[in-house]
């Protein structure tokens, strides 16, 4: 646990005060803020990893409602999650680190990531699952796909009526191999590929074409 976590989970800093003063900037609903408060309370007092079952029990709420709120908080980069022994657990590290973030580049990355999450949720007309959020994180942080390329592939998927993360991931991999970042570049690449193939075929035909006088000249 870094110094930021230790401070906000100690008696010296009021997490509720910091959270409420940041609600507007973080675009948090009342329900999301309340779940964050409960999560902080359980972590601070019970000193353990908190699961969705712990939150359901503590809040006496419907499990599906809690899971939906948790998915929204993950997409807003307010909570972290991990899986252990088949159980999902949650922490406040992303939110706490954002309170102490000083690097403008990191802040910009988080803002851009938030825009991508919102665009996908808008097109899919639902909140993203933790696995889907993890895949988008992989696109941005590990594979380093450009933001405009991800948005472009999402538009292609929408226009083709194929709203599937598997389909989108396949296109991103294909475009990366081709070195293109837009539908226009991809179409131009395919046209050039066809033109090159056609030229090659024509050359092969000319090379292999046998003249009717070839046998006479050979004799």
Residue 211 in domain: no
Residue 94 in domain: yes
Distance separating alpha carbons of residues 198 and 162, to the nearest angstrom: 31
111 or 123: which leads in pLDDT: 123
82-88 long-range Cβ contacts below 8 angstroms, 24+ apart: 82/49, 84/49, 87/51, 87/53, 88/51, 88/52, 88/130
pLDDT at residue 3 in the model: 43
Residue 110 in domain: no
Mean pLDDT, range 157-183, rounded to an integer: 93
pLDDT at residue 45 in the model: 75
Residue 11 in domain: yes
Is residue 99 scored above 80 in pLDDT? no
Question: How many folded domains does the chain comprise?
Answer: 1
Residue 129 in domain: no
Among 15-24, 117-126, 204-213, the range with the most confident prediction by mean pLDDT is 117-126
Q: How confident is the model at residue 102 (pLDDT cuts 50, 70, 90)?
A: very low
pLDDT at residue 104 in the model: 45
Residue 173 in domain: no
Q: Which residues contact 39 (CB under 8 A, 6 or more apart)?
A: 50, 55, 79, 90, 92
Identify which of 131, 85, 77, 72 has the alpha carbon closest to the alpha carbon of residue 106: 77
Q: How confident is the model at residue 7 (pLDDT cuts 50, 70, 90)?
A: very low
Q: What is the mean pLDDT of the chain?
A: 80
pLDDT at residue 12 in the model: 41
Task: List the CATH number of the domain containing 65.
Answer: 1.10.10.10
Is residue 10 scored above 70 in pLDDT? no
Residue 12 in domain: yes
Residue 201 in domain: no
Global pTM exceeds 0.75: no
Range of the domain at 63: 1-100
Is residue 149 scored above 80 in pLDDT? yes
């Amino acid at each position: 646990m870094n110094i930021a976590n230790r401070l906000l989970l100690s008696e010296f800093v009021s997490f509720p005060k910091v959270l409420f003063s940041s609600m507007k900037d973080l675009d948090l609903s009342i329900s999301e803020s309340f779940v964050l408060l409960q999560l902080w309370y359980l972590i601070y007092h019970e000193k353990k990893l908190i699961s969705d079952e712990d939150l359901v029990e503590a809040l006496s709420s419907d499990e599906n409602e809690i899971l939906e709120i948790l998915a929204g908080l993950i997409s807003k980069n307010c909570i972290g999650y991990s899986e252990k022994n088949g159980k999902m657990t949650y922490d406040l590290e992303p939110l706490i680190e954002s309170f102490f973030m000083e690097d403008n580049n990191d802040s910009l990355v988080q803002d851009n990531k938030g825009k991508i999450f919102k665009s996908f949720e808008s097109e899919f007309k639902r909140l993203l699952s933790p696995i889907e959020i993890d895949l988008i994180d992989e696109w941005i942080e590990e594979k380093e796909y450009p933001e405009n390329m991800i948005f472009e592939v999402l538009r292609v998927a929408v226009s083709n009526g194929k709203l599937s993360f598997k389909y989108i991931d396949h296109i991103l991999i294909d475009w990366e191999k081709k070195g293109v970042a837009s539908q226009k570049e991809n179409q131009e690449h395919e046209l050039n590929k066809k033109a090159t193939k056609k030229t090659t075929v024509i050359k092969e035909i000319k090379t292999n074409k046998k003249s009717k006088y070839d046998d006479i000249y050979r004799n």
